[in-house]
Amino acid sequence: MNNKNKKEQKRSGGTLALYIIFSIVASIAIWSYITLVENPEVEQTVSNIPISFIGEDTLAANDLLLVDVSTRSLNISFSGKWNAVTRLTNENITATVDLSEIVTKHASSPGTYQLNYNLEFANYLSSGGISENRANYSAVTVTVEKSISRSIQVKGTYDVVLPESFRARSLEYSTQTITVSGPQAEVEKISYASVYFRRDEVTSSVTAECEVTLIDGDGNEVSKEGLTLSQSTVTVTLPVVMEKELPLYVDKIYGKSNSEENTTFIIEPQTVIVYGEAEILATKDAIQLGTVNTTKLGLTGTQTFGIIPPEGCSIVSGETTATVTWEVIGLETRSFAVPNIDFTDVTEGYGVTVLGQGAIVLRGTKEDLNAVTPDDIKVTASLAEQGEVTGQFDIVASVTVLGFDRVDVIGDYTITVEIELLPEGAETSSEGQSSSVPNS
């Protein structure tokens, strides 16, 4: 029984295979007859045929811009021979619209225009005998507007957390403006280009690449669609600086008669507030104004100094100068007549005559000044710099008070001399003139 069933199944399977082969052969024969012999007229609709727009460069050359089209694809019904029409698809047909006709055939001005399209078939297709029956659009409606370019100012905002003693300065931009091109109506809405960034607590300058957002006069965002930006991002730097109050000071040169104990200094202002990079200010505790030499004046003096902040820093409080006033307590000054002057380094064959001199001012205690006599004052003037020259010169002389180690000579002592060439055979000479200034 089982053998009989197997034979019947085998016979049935063979019959089915023969039937399938016969069906395929019959189909090929029918298809060949239809295409090669009958090839009837048929109609077929091809949907979503893409539209290609050309000539936009011609529009741009005339300051026009395509802003809207009625459609970007077509549905077209074609008729023709079966073997041709049935091969048509939206991949081998293209519709082309030439926008340059707005310039060459129309008014070349903003507006709405209806433009015809041209169908283009792939090279391997033969368009002969194919007819276009119906289309969902007989022409394509396009809208063009005036195209302009404007320079738009960049403005930035930020949201950062700054610790105490730190402050932010004005934002810095890689560019102050960007150029926006597009339809006139849209471009003219733009008020400025906004950039924004946010950071958590910062103690140093921050740099970020920020996206540009276009803002209108009411503070609303303007869509970038249809617009061309010269750049879509701007590099923004927020300088973050440290503020620090720094005291002002001067280096001091004391004389023999005065010291820190009996000399007072007042600096106005005493401090200034500066800002700069934290790394710089962290190592700065004060600002040096300069040096005060208390032997240049008598018992009091005032000097003005420029305030120079640390490199890379600025003064917040606005001061540019400081005044230093100093006073020596418990001492006196007294003028003394000039004794004879010892000239050194006088060139052989030249003579020196003193034409003018002032008084020598000494500073010390009352007791020391009362004890000083003109014989205790030694004045020496070197003429090494003058050499073999003649004429009148101002010479800074050296003054020493012998035997008094707590008495200062105040200021520089200058004398006026005349140097002349002596007659041949005369000896080198110098004449000192004593001042008539009395002790006071």
Give pLDDT tens digits along the chain (440 positions).
555 555 556 566 666 666 666 567 556 555 555 555 568 899 999 999 999 999 999 998 898 999 999 999 999 999 998 888 888 999 999 999 999 999 988 777 899 999 999 999 888 776 667 888 899 999 999 999 999 999 999 999 999 998 888 888 889 999 999 999 999 999 999 999 999 989 888 888 899 999 999 999 999 999 999 899 999 999 999 988 899 999 999 999 999 999 999 999 999 999 999 998 888 898 899 999 999 999 988 899 999 999 999 998 999 888 999 999 999 999 999 999 877 889 999 998 899 999 988 899 999 999 999 999 999 999 999 999 998 889 999 999 999 999 999 999 999 999 999 999 988 766 665 655 433 333 33
Report the 10 Å Cβ neighbour count for 359: 17
Q: Which amino acid is at 126?
A: S
Q: Which residues have a Cβ under 8 Å from the Cβ of 378 and sit 6 or more positions away?
A: 339, 342, 399, 400, 401, 402
Percent helix, percent strand, percent coil in the chain, to nearest 5: 15, 50, 35
Tally helices (H) and strands (E) across the chain. 7, 33
User: Residues 27, 70: contact at Cβ < 8 Å?
Assistant: no
Residue 32: per-residue pLDDT:
53
Convert 429-438 to b/e letters by CB count within 10 Å (16 or more is b).
ebebeebeee
User: Residues 180, 152: contact at Cβ < 8 Å?
Assistant: yes
Three-state SS at 70: coil
Three-state SS at 195: strand
Q: Which amino acid is at 102?
A: I
The DSSP line for 257-311 is S--GGGEEEEEESSEEEEEE-HHHHTT---EEEEEEETTSSSSEEEEEEE--PPT
R_g over Cα of the chain:
52
Q: Which amino acid is at 146?
A: K
Residue 312: per-residue pLDDT:
87
How does strand 240-253 pair with strand 271-276? antiparallel
Between CA 287 and CA 427 the distance in angstroms is 57
Residue 278: per-residue pLDDT:
86
Query: Rounded to the nearest 5°, which phi and psi values hold at 423?
Result: -60, 150
Helix (H) / strand (E) containing 369: helix 366-371
Residue 433: per-residue pLDDT:
42
Q: Which of 227, 221, 223 is nearest to 184 (CA)?
A: 227
Between CA 409 and CA 398 the distance in angstroms is 10
Between CA 98 and CA 58 the distance in angstroms is 10
Convert 34-44 to b/e letters by CB count within 10 Å (16 or more is b).
eeeeeeeeeeb
Residue 428: per-residue pLDDT:
61
Q: Which residues have a Cβ under 8 Å from the Cβ of 259 and sit 6 or more positions away?
A: none
Task: Return the half-sphere exposure (C-beta side, CA atoms, 13 A cut-off) of residue 193.
Answer: 24
Outline where DSSP puts E strands in 10-92. Answer: 41-54, 64-69, 73-81
Query: Rounded to the nearest 5°, which phi and psi values hold at 439?
Result: -65, 140
Residue 233: per-residue pLDDT:
96
Q: Which residues have a Cβ under 8 Å from the Cβ of 243 and sit 6 or more positions away?
A: 165, 166, 167, 273, 274, 275, 316
Residue 192: per-residue pLDDT:
97
Three-state SS at 422: coil
Q: What is the pTM (predicted TM-score) of this model? A: 0.54
Three-state SS at 124: coil
